[in-house]
Amino acid sequence: MVDGVILDNATSQSGDADWDSNINDYGNQLKNLNPDDFESVSVLKGAAATALYGSRGLNGAVVITTKSGKAGKGVSVKVSQTVGIETVYRSPDLQNRYMIGAFPGGVDYGDEYTATGNLWSDNMSSFARNSKGEYSFIEQYGNFAWGPEISWAEGKMFEQYDGTMGPAQMFKNNYKDAYDTGVNTNTNVSLQGGNDRTQFYASASYKHNKGTTPRNTFNRFSFLGKASQKVGDIMTVDFSVNFTQSQPRNAPLNIGEYFANSTFPREYDVKRYRNLYKGEHGGLASDKYGDLYRAVPGKGLWWSIFENDYKQTETMFRPVLNINVQALPWLQLSAGGSLNYYAIDGELKAPGSGYANEGGSYSLSHTQTTQENLYLAANLNYQINDDWEVHGFLREEYFNQYAQYHSESTNGGLIVPNQFFIKNSKQQANFNSYKFNTKRIVSTIFMLGTSWKNQLFLDVTGRNDWSSSLVYSYGTGNFSYFYPSVSGSWIITETFKDQLPKWISFAKVRGSWAQVGNDTSPYYINSGYAVATYQRGDKKIYGMTIPENMKSTDLKPERKNAWEVGLDWRFIDNRIGLDVTYYKENTKNQIMTINVPWESGVKEKLINAGNIQNSGIEIALNTTPIKNKDWQWDLNLTYTSNRNKIVELSPDVTSYINLDGAANYGNYRIASVAKVGADYGMLMSDSWIKTDEKTGKPVVGYTGNYRTIYYKRGGTVKEVGSMLPDFLGTLNTTLRWKNLSLYVLLDARFGGYVASYNSRYATAYGFSGETEKYRKGMTWTSQYANSKDKVFTDGFIPDVVFDQGTTITTPAGTNEDVSGMTYQEAYEKGFVEPAHLQSAAYFKNSWSRGVINDDWFKKLNYIALREVTLSYNVPTNICSYIGAKSLSLNLTGRNLAYLLNTAPNHENPESVRGTGAAQFRMRSFMPYTASYLFTLNATF
């Protein structure tokens, strides 16, 4: 909420972690706010506070108040300039010792294979040759990096990806080379001033940011003008207008994943090949046309980055008007309104990547959302006598929202290549336009409170909302809901002023109980047919489709009941402050979709369901250990621990609802679920490692083609851990000496599982740092007919038990049933040779056989060095040389390092995909990016 206008902060509609490599995240409208305009930002938690903001404050509110004019002292001008850079300083762990190649048993290249077709040649010394007999990276099997150690390549020459000859080497920094150094600048100028009747504030700012991904930029221009004018004796008129225009361009693609999924092997020189992706004909180089760069890996990524161009122009316009009339000394009447207009214009140019730029596309889109607010209020403030006062208000609010979307795009390719306009579409252009988000809420709110002698405080609120989104298309619905709250606090130190020891400077306890109601998205509760049109030759055929979900015809509003208690104690002259809050909330009748058996003809049903409980504790400790004339040291800590529990779902749900992911399918085979009696965000999966009941050892199968073991999946869906952190915490400290101060912020998270796609597959394929432990093991000479007398160096005897029904072909050629035997026993009997470690690592993590293990599924603990800032307030005497009233210089570093990080392969711990509550999957193999900023603030 900004100055009374509630802004929509939708969570990112980022791509699904299972199927979308790229996030395509352009954020929401909050990126268009100018932080230099903020006077204060406060977080209101607890339903009591948010009961005043209605249903959209159901989960809390961030309340931002912008700066205003100030009376007296003439006009002050503030100028602020920031310049900064961003660098990628680290990548997730990647191995740098082994070349591309297959693991034993899969070597379908190289001299021996070409002559005999035998797949068991030594993978640590085999390499493909081209038709001229030269070793060749183009011909070599590139899906895995289980090949020779790089020392084997010394002195040898290899055909490179562009056809020239050269040595083979590991490019340890190729990941970082893919990123640029980002630069950014922000300039802000503001004016503030006024007298006792008129105050004003105006600011203008410009920001330009070039990111670390090539061609990713963000520009923002923002203007804010505010004025407050006293009219007559009792009336004040406030008016403000905010205008912002921004242009995000080319959101970063998931470049990191290419280093994990074998597209960019460790021998790939980013600097050399980054620009070698075109064929002479102008499109993407391809072996279909025999282009020179046909074999350069990952061309498609560079094409997308350097040839495609997507930009958005976002416009925000927000006028706000408030009129206050002090009708009586104890009664103030006010009225006002605001408008928030937010439009996004998008344009995508994608040149064709086919032969001679065949293909390609162009699209235009426009989205605009308008929100209107009007209110009428009466505020009461009456001092009954010395001890008692009473206050309150009665308020009527009207909120209206509507939006519209248009888009067109070419279809089937561009007629004339590289000319970008919609009519240049080979097939009939696609179009889509609709109105959406039409919603209206009318509310009546009252508050009544009292306080006694500034010691005891009591407030009661009540609110009734009428929401259009709970009205069915045939006019009925449960669309009116009332919710009250009561809160009180007691300042103990006021009551026992003289009885308490001096070192207790302040003590307050507070408690509240509140109920908040909530509606749902516009039109969500309605069901209907969809129109489908088919065309055969010249004829059009019309049909309809039936939705695959069913909606209850009696949906009710959601309700949250929350209570909270807290204390705020300060000691030793406010040098130590402790703020503790404990809360418990139950949300009932959530409007949610549950899965129902498809045999019934629908897949999902929309119902009111459940009782989801949220409870936890928040502690803030603020201390100032040192404080004197020249020195001050502040040390502050916060600790939060939250537990979501599902108390009850719906009788139509057997035991759980899937929130994110899939427990028995896909790239992860893990889902976060809402399960009765468990955390919201319990993780379930069917690919936990099956263990033998008697011995507790893992149960495995054997693959004769690769002569190694693979773990058996449990097969039934079971809980495997919770994604909820045990706690989150921050520590910040400021050390000030005279005009210089140093600020350090750390924040931490402990507990809760994450699952990483790239750690899983990069380990299976041999590219990740984890694979170091899977390269070498026992050495032995094989006796199998097709690997006779070959020496292998990656053997191991796993501590496992063979599953029932496992038969093995021994080196002698006989078949043996090894059901129930340990690998050690089978080895001693001569049925098996040592298992291959490299291929075992593959099967442990592959799509079809992989199991949950700590190569990619781990509890995430991290401590981030979030910020270090050094500030200097230039002494006033020096300032006056340039005519400034004050001048400060700041040097800041952000996201500088992680002091602790348990993510698999030391991936960036903050790369979980998406901002929704149930998301735990890491998909972007993100870099570690540090920012360094220098800011100069001057006031004139």
Partner 1 sequence: MQAYSPSTSFNDLYNKLAELGGVGSQLIYVKRYENDIKAAIAKMPADKAAQYSHLSAMANALSVYMGLFDTDLFGSRPYSETAQAKYGGTLTPNYESQEKLFEQWLTELNADLAKLKETNTQISVGDNDLAYGGDAKKWVKFINGIKLKIAARLLHQDKAKALKIAEEVGADDANVMQTITDDYVYNKGTGGDGGNNTYGTDNSVNLGTCSKNVIDFMRRNKDPRMLVMFTKNDFNSEVIQAFFDAQARGDNNCAIPKYILDQVNYTTDGSGHKHFTSWKGDGEPWVRYQGLPIGMTISEKAEYTGDNNYFVTTRWKVTDGDKSKTYSPLSYFNEELVRGRVDYTFPTAPKGKVVQDTEDNPLYEMTISTAEMNLYLAEFKLLGANLPHSAADYFKTGVEASAKAYSRLATLNKIPYYDKAHCNDKLDEPVTYNDAAIATMMAKADYQLTGNVASDLEKVYIQMYLHFFYQPLEQFVTVRRSGVPKVGSSLIPWVAMKPSTELPRRFYIAQPDPADKMRAIIEAAMTQQASPLPMDKNPNCLTRKECGTTKVRLTLVKDLITKMSV
Q: Which residue has the tokens 């150690």?
A: 149
Contact between 674 and 646 (Cβ < 8 Å): yes
Contact between 190 and 201 (Cβ < 8 Å): yes
Distance of alpha carbon 794 from alpha carbon 778, whole angstroms: 6
Lay out the site mask for partner 1 across 787-806 (x = CB under 8 A, - = otherwise): ----------------x-x-
Residue 831 in the binding site for partner 1 (CB under 8 A): no
Identify the CA nearest to 561 among candidates 529, 588, 594, 532. Answer: 588
Distance of alpha carbon 25 from alpha carbon 13, whole angstroms: 7
Residue 592 in the binding site for partner 1 (CB under 8 A): no
Residue 653 in the binding site for partner 1 (CB under 8 A): yes
Contact between 256 and 263 (Cβ < 8 Å): no
Q: What is the closest distance, in whole angstroms, from the C-beta atom of residue 141 to partner 1 in the complex?
A: 11
Residue 595 in the binding site for partner 1 (CB under 8 A): yes
Greatest distance between any 2 Cα atoms in the chain: 107
Q: What is the closest distance, in whole angstroms, from the C-beta atom of residue 281 to partner 1 in the complex?
A: 9
Beta bridge mates, 621: 578, 637
List all residues 6 or more positions away from 309 whose beta carbon is below 8 Å from its beta carbon.
215, 249, 250, 348, 349, 350
Distance of alpha carbon 618 from alpha carbon 227, whole angstroms: 39
Pick from 290, 501, 696, 883: which binds partner 1 (CB under 8 A)? Answer: 290
Residue 532 in the binding site for partner 1 (CB under 8 A): yes
**Strand 539-545 versus strand 530-536 pairing type:** antiparallel
Residue 931 in the binding site for partner 1 (CB under 8 A): no
Q: Which helix (H) or strand (E) holds 492?
A: helix 492-495
Distance of alpha carbon 383 from alpha carbon 724, whole angstroms: 48
Pick from 60, 163, 282, 893: which binds partner 1 (CB under 8 A)? Answer: 163
Contact between 2 and 33 (Cβ < 8 Å): yes
Distance of alpha carbon 497 from alpha carbon 918, whole angstroms: 48
Residue 133 in the binding site for partner 1 (CB under 8 A): yes
Pick from 715, 781, 788, 878: which binds partner 1 (CB under 8 A)? Answer: 715
Residue 19 in the binding site for partner 1 (CB under 8 A): no
DSSP state for residue 493 in the 8-state scheme: H
Q: How far is CA 103 from CA 153, 258, 477, 774, 811, in A?
A: 17, 21, 64, 11, 19
Residue 309 in the binding site for partner 1 (CB under 8 A): no
Q: What is the closest distance, in whole angstroms, from the C-beta atom of residue 147 to partner 1 in the complex?
A: 17
C-beta neighbour count of 629 within 10 angstroms? 6
Q: What is the dihedral of CA 849, 851, 857, 858, to 10 degrees?
A: -150
Identify the CA nearest to 916 among candidates 47, 55, 10. Answer: 10
Lay out the site mask for partner 1 across 608-627 (x = CB under 8 A, - = otherwise): --------------------
Identify the CA nearest to 104 among candidates 592, 834, 699. Answer: 834
Q: What is the closest distance, in whole angstroms, from the C-beta atom of residue 785 to partner 1 in the complex?
A: 10
Which of 595, 734 has the CB closer to partner 1? 595
Pick from 385, 705, 814, 877: which binds partner 1 (CB under 8 A)? Answer: 705
- For residue 878, report the phi and psi dihedrals to the nearest 5 degrees: -75, -35
Which of 119, 922 has the CB closer to partner 1? 119
Which of 40, 600 has the CB closer to partner 1? 600
Residue 49 in the binding site for partner 1 (CB under 8 A): no
Pick from 695, 786, 876, 880: which binds partner 1 (CB under 8 A)? Answer: 786
Residue 118 in the binding site for partner 1 (CB under 8 A): yes
Which of 33, 832 has the CB closer to partner 1? 832
Residue 691 in the binding site for partner 1 (CB under 8 A): no
Identify the CA nearest to 586 among candidates 515, 519, 657. Answer: 515
Which of 463, 712 has the CB closer to partner 1? 712
Distance of alpha carbon 184 from alpha carbon 209, whole angstroms: 4
Identify the CA nearest to 644 among candidates 596, 688, 676, 600. Answer: 676
Binding to partner 1 (CB under 8 A) within 337-366 occurs at: 354-355, 358
* Interacting span for partner 1 (CB under 8 A) from 196-204, 281-289, 864-872, 929-937: 281-289
Q: Which helix (H) or strand (E) holds 801?
A: strand 801-802
Distance of alpha carbon 536 from alpha carbon 552, whole angstroms: 38
Distance of alpha carbon 604 from alpha carbon 607, whole angstroms: 10
Pick from 717, 748, 818, 832: which binds partner 1 (CB under 8 A)? Answer: 717
Residue 629 in the binding site for partner 1 (CB under 8 A): no
* Interacting span for partner 1 (CB under 8 A) from 242-250, 395-403, 539-547, 836-844: 539-547
Residue 412 in the binding site for partner 1 (CB under 8 A): yes
Distance of alpha carbon 766 from alpha carbon 99, whole angstroms: 9
Residue 139 in the binding site for partner 1 (CB under 8 A): yes
DSSP state for residue 766 in the 8-state scheme: T
Binding to partner 1 (CB under 8 A) within 428-447 occurs at: 430
Residue 538 in the binding site for partner 1 (CB under 8 A): no
Distance of alpha carbon 867 from alpha carbon 87, whole angstroms: 15
DSSP state for residue 679 in the 8-state scheme: B
Pick from 35, 167, 300, 597: which binds partner 1 (CB under 8 A)? Answer: 597
Pick from 233, 499, 502, 539: which binds partner 1 (CB under 8 A)? Answer: 539
Strands (E), 415-529: 425-452, 456-467, 480-491, 504-518
Which of 73, 288 has the CB closer to partner 1? 288
Lay out the site mask for partner 1 across 657-686 (x = CB under 8 A, - = otherwise): xx----xx--------x-------------
Pick from 19, 434, 474, 542: which binds partner 1 (CB under 8 A)? Answer: 542
* Residue 482 identity (one-letter amino acid): F
Which of 231, 532 has the CB closer to partner 1? 532
Which of 373, 806 has the CB closer to partner 1? 806
Which of 434, 542 has the CB closer to partner 1? 542
Binding to partner 1 (CB under 8 A) within 462-481 occurs at: none
Pick from 656, 711, 765, 831: which binds partner 1 (CB under 8 A)? Answer: 656
* Residue 625 identity (one-letter amino acid): P
* Interacting span for partner 1 (CB under 8 A) from 289-297, 369-377, 579-587, 629-637: 289-297
Which of 74, 133 has the CB closer to partner 1? 133
Q: How far is CA 331 from CA 236, 321, 379, 391, 461, in A?
A: 14, 20, 6, 10, 18
Residue 654 in the binding site for partner 1 (CB under 8 A): yes
Count the residues of the shown chain that bind partner 1, applying the rule CB under 8 A. 67
Residue 596 in the binding site for partner 1 (CB under 8 A): yes
Pick from 89, 206, 289, 398: which binds partner 1 (CB under 8 A)? Answer: 289
Which of 539, 629 has the CB closer to partner 1? 539
Pick from 232, 385, 536, 693: which binds partner 1 (CB under 8 A)? Answer: 536
Residue 116 in the binding site for partner 1 (CB under 8 A): yes
- For residue 325, report the phi and psi dihedrals to the nearest 5 degrees: -125, 120
Residue 287 in the binding site for partner 1 (CB under 8 A): yes
Pick from 19, 434, 474, 534: which binds partner 1 (CB under 8 A)? Answer: 534
- For residue 771, report the phi and psi dihedrals to the nearest 5 degrees: -70, -10
Lay out the site mask for partner 1 across 729-768 (x = CB under 8 A, - = otherwise): ----------------------------------------
Q: Which residue has the tokens 């850079």?
A: 85
Kindly list the residues in this chain that would bind partner 1 in the complex (CB under 8 A). 108-109, 113-114, 116-119, 128-133, 139, 163, 287-290, 292, 354-355, 358, 412, 430, 532-537, 539-543, 546, 550, 595-602, 605, 652-658, 663-664, 673, 703, 705, 712, 715-717, 786, 803, 805
